[in-house]
Amino acid sequence: MSRRGWVLFAAMGVIWGIPYLLIKVADGGVSVPVLVCTRVALGSALLLPVAIRGGHLRALRGHVRWLAAFTAVEIVGPFAALSTAERRLPSSTSGLLVAAVPIFSALLAIVFRSGDRLTPVRWAGLAIGLGGVAVLAGPGAGRGDALPVALVLLTALGYSIGPLIANRKLAALPPVAVNAACLGAAAVVYAPAAALTWPRSVPSPQVLAALAALGVVCTAAAFLVFFRLIAEVGPARATVITYVNPAVAVALGVIVLGEHLTAAIGVSFVLILGGSVLATRAGSAGSRTGDAASPPSPAAAVAGEPATPARCDK
């Protein structure tokens, strides 16, 4: 990789590692609908001019049904579920659980019988990764944490299904147009609930800064930077940031928010990330994770999680 490639890679590792911290901060000052609506509205407002200037929106005609499905499973559901869960869960725990996206992707490959053949190594990766989720969400979890954990796992599932739709039904469309339109649609969906729960007083500067960073940095800017990274190093190398983001999320939760780095978090971190690496390995000698891999989903920038190496859905 070039020096520029490493800089872009490091930037994305941080950009998609900080949403969990920012959501935790924003949760303390606004409702979930306001948080989600503000984030997606800002992202759409910044990406829409780029899509209009390039004349890309015309390409979306005739794809409304799949764009709506993509918006529902990749943005509307996951963003709200994750923000709701972080009202009870530490941001580091949320970041680790969302890191199970490659595990769900491999499971979807089994369900739809697509992607590379599941070798013994990949089966072992699935078992190890799911074991890590069990460690984090099992008996050691706090009382009342079952629902928040389930919400984060549903978020990870949505982040796995979204690219499946994108790569099968929306792959020929300009990514900037897909993201701008879907973010805008999500903003419209959440606008009524956001209006009803709008804060009576101006939130603190920390909350406002977190909301702005979520929309501008983690959504709109992330889209632009990630696709520059793809152009520089190829899609397969770009998706390796999937394994970097959780480390950033855990580190920021501990350093900035003072969250406890427990033994369960340490063990689950190793199991989930190690299992994800194994579960997403090529299934045969002829399947390589080189730059010829299929491109990541257009959703990568809106989800807060990058698309993982091409298997069943990416």
Query: What pLDDT, on a 0 to 100 scale, did the predictor assign at position 101?
Result: 82
Query: What pLDDT, on a 0 to 100 scale, did the predictor assign at position 306?
Result: 44
Domain ranges of the chain: 3-303
Query: What pLDDT, on a 0 to 100 scale, did the predictor assign at position 117?
Result: 67
**118-125 — which CB contacts under 8 Å span 24+ positions?**
118/283, 119/281, 119/283, 119/284, 121/278, 121/281, 122/278, 122/279, 122/280, 122/281, 122/283, 124/278, 125/274, 125/275, 125/276, 125/277, 125/278, 125/279, 125/280, 125/281
Query: What pLDDT, on a 0 to 100 scale, did the predictor assign at position 182?
Result: 94
pTM of the predicted model as reported, rounded to 2 decimal places: 0.81
Element (H, E) at 239: none
Query: What pLDDT, on a 0 to 100 scale, did the predictor assign at position 307?
Result: 44
- For residue 120 the two structure tokens come to 């013994």
Residues of the chain with pLDDT under 50: 284-304, 306-314
Query: What pLDDT, on a 0 to 100 scale, did the predictor assign at position 146?
Result: 82
Query: What pLDDT, on a 0 to 100 scale, did the predictor assign at position 144?
Result: 58
Query: What pLDDT, on a 0 to 100 scale, did the predictor assign at position 129?
Result: 84
